[in-house]
């Protein structure tokens, strides 16, 4: 098991991010490393960074069903967050 996977299972997200960034320095074309980094960013609430990494992973492995599933879930979660934040403010009674 890689250190990045171990760190994520321990919920040590900063360590996991560090390890997957290092993995991408060694192999920028690793769809798995991009996907794993996206999951870590998403878990930490770093939405734009997560989106970028999911898109990179899909560009490298467009038929990978795990990456497709993760990205779809990410988009649904993000849309839910955006719709909740866009709800109209409650009106004050005069």
CB 56 within 8 A of CB 30: no
Q: Residue 43: its pLDDT value, please?
A: 95
* Tokens (6 digits) for 84: 């909740």
Q: Residue 81: its pLDDT value, please?
A: 79
Q: Residue 47: its pLDDT value, please?
A: 95
CATH number for 37: 1.25.40.10
**Whole-prediction pTM:** 0.85
The backbone torsions φ and ψ at residue 80, rounded to the nearest 5 degrees and listed phi first, read -65, -40
**Domain-embedded: residue 88:** no
**Domain-embedded: residue 59:** yes
Q: Band of the pLDDT at 93, cuts 50, 70, 90?
A: low
**Domain-embedded: residue 85:** no
| Block residue for tokens 């990978």 | 64
**Domain-embedded: residue 90:** no
d(CA 61, CA 12): 27
Domain housing 22:
3-77
pLDDT at 90 over 60: no
In total, how many domains does the chain have? 1
**Domain-embedded: residue 67:** yes
Question: What sign has the CA pseudo-torsion 7, 3, 54, 76?
Answer: negative
CB 38 within 8 A of CB 50: yes
């Amino acid at each position: 098991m890689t250190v990045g996977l171990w760190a994520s299972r321990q919920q040590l997200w900063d360590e996991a991010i560090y390890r997957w960034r290092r993995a991408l320095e060694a192999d920028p074309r690793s769809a798995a490393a991009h996907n794993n980094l996206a999951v870590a960013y998403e878990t930490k609430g770093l939405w734009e960074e997560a989106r970028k990494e999911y898109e990179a992973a899909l560009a490298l492995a467009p038929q990978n069903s795990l990456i497709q599933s993760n990205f779809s879930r990410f988009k649904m979660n993000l849309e839910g967050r955006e719709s909740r934040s866009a709800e109209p403010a409650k009106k004050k009674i005069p």
